[in-house]
Amino acid sequence: MIFYFCYSLNFMKMKRLLCLLAITTFLFSCSSEEQYVIKGNLNGGDDKTLFLKKRESGRWVKIDSVVLDNGTFEFIGGAVDYPDMYYLMVEGNRGAKVFYLENSSITISGHIDTLNNLTVEGSVTQCEYDNYNESLKPFYEKNSALYQELRAAREAGNDEKVASIGEERNTLFEDMQNFQKEFIFTNSASYITPNILRSISYEMDAEELMKYIGQLDLKLAETETSVFLIARVEALKKVAIGEIAPDFTQNDPDGNPVKLSDVVGSKLLLVDFWAAWCSPCRVENPNVVAVYQEFKDRGFNVFGISLDSEKEDWLKAIEDDNLTWQHVSDLQGWNSEAAKLYAVSSIPANFLLDAEGKILATNVRGDDLGKKVAEILGE
């Protein structure tokens, strides 16, 4: 893996140079007035509406739209401030083509039914992104093979093999993250780098994330992703171990407002972020129930915060999973104010608080939860 890792980085540099050389002719022939032009042909797309969109603050923003004329289209817009991720979507079709838009003439082609596989030419940044994704393929292919082995081992009831493959996949994941981290250091001025950092930032604490942000070229500070990452660092600092858990108020199932500070007070409180639609959460719930039943009379309590948007689904999951502790939700899904406050980017997520509301541990699950509760309560 180490040999491949080093080789891939050199290969990436070579391919980036090829991208630049391939587009040099176009750059010298461009008008001095900066703008973007996106044109192309989508087979099978007669008379359908094509949308150019962007994600801003977690929401879709429509930039432009055009009706395909025998599959052909063209978008012409003013100058963008910097290369960034945009999305091509077709009315009535699922999926989207993610690509980097910059001030150049970009050609996109392919079939309307396979948007993700469209070919993008004319964007230096997109070329870098394509090469980066190509370098990740060995990791994904290895993981896919391991997953097939895992399924076979489970069907055969070979628990030892299941555990072994699980460890191998964890190692593979770590290797891929190390590759991505090295990419950030060696490509600190690329506009794709902040998005790569964002994709792995959810496994980082505030100190580690700040270290990688500090490697980014100053020109990247203006990007929306960099602004997001800085804000995430500040949020993570507020919910680090040893800090007092930030207070918030949300409604219980009956519509009554409940403050976290009113729930804090038991010897140990598990602030548990989950959702009815979250499969890993539902798998973890029986474990939380078991720990709650074992330690509730010794000062352990749970406070559930749901990231659901449908009240009926939330209430049904509470009943089905026998979650007998107090629950709240603002029913805003991933826009949950409490989740934002606690920098929750994946669920299940939890925070273990003492009687004063100080954070003692985070994201303790499985057998570790019962062990940690027993340790703190002196059992």
How is the chain split into domains, by residue range? 31-122, 249-377
- 82 CB-contact burial (10 Å; exposed 0-12 / middle 13-18 / buried 19+): middle
CATH code for the part of the protein at 31-122: 2.60.40.10
- The maximal CA–CA distance of the chain, rounded, in angstroms, is 76
Integer Cα distance of 313 and 167 in angstroms: 34
The first and second tokens of residue 315, run together, are 């209430």
pLDDT in tens, the chain (379 residues): 333 333 344 444 444 544 544 444 444 433 345 899 999 999 887 788 999 999 887 789 999 999 999 889 999 998 999 999 999 999 888 889 999 999 999 999 999 888 988 999 999 999 999 999 999 999 999 999 999 999 999 999 999 999 999 999 999 999 999 999 999 999 999 999 999 999 999 888 899 999 999 999 999 998 999 999 999 999 999 999 999 999 999 999 999 999 999 999 889 999 999 999 999 999 999 999 999 999 999 999 999 999 999 999 999 999 999 999 999 999 999 999 999 999 998 899 999 999 999 999 999 998 999 999 999 998 6
Residue 306: per-residue pLDDT: 97
- 126 CB-contact burial (10 Å; exposed 0-12 / middle 13-18 / buried 19+): buried
Residue 221: per-residue pLDDT: 92
- Cis preceding linkage at 348, omega within 30: yes
* Domain 249-377 classification at class level: alpha beta
Integer Cα distance of 215 and 235 in angstroms: 20
| DSSP conformation class of 201 | G
C-alpha angle 327-331-337 in degrees, rounded to nearest 5: 90
| DSSP conformation class of 307 | -
Q: Which residue from 271, 362, 373, 248 is spatially nearest to 325, judged by alpha carbons?
A: 271
Whole-structure pTM value: 0.78
Residue 110: per-residue pLDDT: 93
